[in-house]
Chains A and B, each alone.
Chain A
Amino acid sequence: MKSKKIVSLITTAALAFGIISGCSSSKDGSSGSDGKQVIKIATQSPLSGGSATLGEAIKLGAQMAISDQKKAFAKKGFDLQLVPYDDQADPKKGVSNAQQIGSDKSILGIIGHLNSGVTIPASEIYEKNQLAMISPAATATDVTDRGLKVVNRICARDDFQGPAGAEFAVNTLKAKKIFIIQDKTAYGSGLAEAFRDAAKKLGADIVGYEGITVGEKDFNGVVGQAASKKPDLIYFGGVYAEGGLIIKQARDKGLDIPIMGGDALDSSSTVQIAGDSVKNVYLSSVAGDVTKVEAGKKFADAYKAKFNKNVESYSSYGYDATGILLKAIMSAIDKNDGKLPTREAVSQAVRTIKDYQGIINKVGFDDKGDNKFAKVFIFKFDKAEYPAVQQKAISK
């Protein structure tokens, strides 16, 4: 009996020691394999869960920017590395990741998040750690409206995306009676509210404003309600997992009217779920079609060659956001006489970027961290095929 206890004690001790040493070795990574100083860029996006397709695109975009610039950093004696974190689109997970990131001193900036609901609490932690964050996709107004010094984004805001969608729906599609469905998340309801208010101002009649629960599959109740009100457009504020099903169930109820949604429908999974029903679906997106511009085509080809995947909507923004962060780090290094800059210096350098030429549009941050050149793009599915066709670009 006693010997058993001793053995178990020893094994526990060995295990604990292993864990501790494992931790310390990962934290000690300030000097790389060949004596170079390590600079890490973290991405935080959902790599699992319902919006993994979009989160993965951000990560891959960042990965591409980093491998493009690895050499330039190596010349200055730095080893550039990417550390992808999975926030699972869950605020709790995002915050606990943010705390981990904060304690890893070699991380100088974060690319992410996808979801506004995760960005908002996590950015409080970044602010405490003076860590620069550039979000390619968080559109909620509160992301930058809190006036945090480290928070930036390159996409448009919800209070612009919603009105831009409303303008297109009312003025171009001539919608008079609009039914709105939202998914009760910070993103979905924020977008839907902005759309509702703008559409009302433009003279449209809002015949219904309903919520659904994320994770369910049967939305026939709400869709049936919409059908009975006979609207000429349905607007959905939410993500593709529910959006695809709502589109499908609306078509099954004989609603062959245009259905419009926000940027979170901009995914190949929308088409996969909705199938043929996806025809006549419009979406406003903060990310444009990369293949419409020359630089974008090149990017799409390189992306395909590297990852054997087609570009998703946020791939190019992930790439741009990382490009901006790296540019800021580079200028901070130069200011610091070629030595490793502080996190504070990096986040100040990010905010001073006023004229960065991204793949689709320019990026220049205002004093809140919003991109002055952000545009909203309207897309339409003409056939059951991704990507949708770009219809119009609306700028401020």
Chain B
Amino acid sequence: MLAHIIQTLPQVIVDGLTLGVVYAVVAIGYTMVYGILELINFAHGEIFMSGAFIGTTVLLILSSVGFLSSVPAILAFIIIIVIASIATGFLGMGIERVAYRPLRNAPKLITLITAIGVSFLLQDIVRFIAELKTGNYIVSAPSLFNEKIHLKTSSILPQFGDALFKSSFLVVLIVAIIMLIVLDFFVNRTKWGMAMRAVAQDRETASLMSINVNKVISVTFFVGSALGGATGVLFMVQYGSIDPYIGFILGIKAFTAAVLGGIGNIRGAMVGGLLIGLLEMFAAANLSTITHGAFGAEYKDIFAFAILIAVLIFKPEGLFGKAVVEKV
């Protein structure tokens, strides 16, 4: 049993990392907005989905004008991801301006329901457009990175099996890690980042220190949504098939990741996302081996959520969260 688990481990790690970085970047969008507004922005999963669709649209346009064959795939990919993230960034900012700002002083529950409403709205708008243009809302994108890479992990340790993946995995991993590092730098080292942290700590006091709170919140939504949209493009590159509902399950899992890492904490969201992705993949690959067929791979989500519950019992603020003293 153990031999089997160890043998498949390299492949599980490769697959788990792919899923994990996607969860991680989406989780950041949840955590940033929560940190600053104490609002769970349920529309964030749909912003991720819109990013995937915008990216696919740009990709299809580029390939129809013959641009794809004339430039290297990586350049086309950069163009696509930049366009998609800017577009979704403005989309997120617009949603904040139209749907959340008027409700900023309303009870939290009302904003939460609004967020759920916005997410349904986005799903159906995208579905409508996709169906209008292609006749089918499951859209397949031409794959950009197709070379298969054979990682000889068995030569490191004889117990390991080999891992096999597509080059798109490397692209997803590297781009996601770059995004995580840049964001961390942005939040912790720049003036805007400092303003964001100040608003997150105490909105009113921050406004007294001549910080334009509305602007900071807009920027937060822009950055979070742009990251979400870019992840949508990564998702499209990795899996090649998207539909308007991909944001729902993925959004819930990313939100879970944010809670696991301690909601409001950016580094926590990163770690939480990677953990959830790896756990899920590990469970899918090994659950039936561990339980001798009593529980199949279909229980993988229960496995991941059981660990979440266990963590929250012993550390209710999440792995990286700080216990907040209630302000009097």
Contacts and interface: CB of A to CB of B under 8 A. Distances in A.
Contact of A252 (B148, B161, B284): B148
Nearest to A219: B284
A210 B140 contact: no
Interface string A274-298: 0100000000000000000000000
Interface in A185-240: 208-213, 215-222, 224-225, 227-228
B164 A208 contact: no
A146 to B, nearest CB: 27
A217 B246 contact: yes
Contacts, number: 105
Interface residues of B, number: 44
A224 B12 contact: yes
Interface stretch (B90-98, B176-184, B234-242): B234-242
B175 interface: no
Contacts of B140: 272-273, 275
A209 B296 contact: yes
Contacts of A245: 239, 241
Contacts of A208: 288
B19 to A, nearest CB: 5
B301 A213 contact: yes
Contacts of A252: 148, 164-166
Interface stretch (B3-11, B26-34, B39-47, B99-107): B3-11
B240 A248 contact: yes
Contacts of A53: 136
B124 to A, nearest CB: 10
B166 A217 contact: no
A272 B288 CA distance: 32
A210 B140 CA distance: 26
A218 B239 contact: yes
Contacts of B242: 217
A50 B298 contact: no
B148 A221 contact: no
Nearest to B143: A275
Contacts of A213: 249, 298, 301
A224 B15 contact: yes
A214 B53 CA distance: 20
B171 interface: no
A52 interface: yes
B286 A225 contact: yes
A221 B12 contact: yes
Contacts of B246: 217
Contact of A275 (B11, B19, B240, B300): B240
B239 A217 contact: yes
A225 B284 contact: yes
A216 B297 CA distance: 13
Interface in A237-276: 241, 244-245, 248, 252-254, 269, 272-273, 275
B8 A225 contact: yes
A224 B11 contact: yes
B61 interface: no
Given A209-B296, A215-B249, A228-B4, 20 more contacts: A50-B138, A209-B293, A213-B298, A218-B15, A218-B18, A220-B19, A221-B297, A222-B284, A222-B285, A224-B281, A225-B289, A227-B164, A228-B7, A228-B285, A248-B240, A252-B164, A254-B164, A269-B136, A273-B140, A273-B240
22 contacts: A211-B296, A211-B298, A213-B249, A213-B301, A216-B249, A217-B235, A220-B15, A221-B280, A222-B284, A222-B297, A224-B15, A224-B284, A225-B8, A227-B164, A252-B165, A252-B166, A269-B136, A272-B138, A273-B140, A273-B240, A275-B143, A275-B240
Interface of B: 4, 7-8, 11-12, 15, 18-19, 127, 136-138, 140, 143, 148, 161, 164-166, 235, 239-243, 245-246, 248-249, 280-286, 288-289, 293, 296-298, 300-301
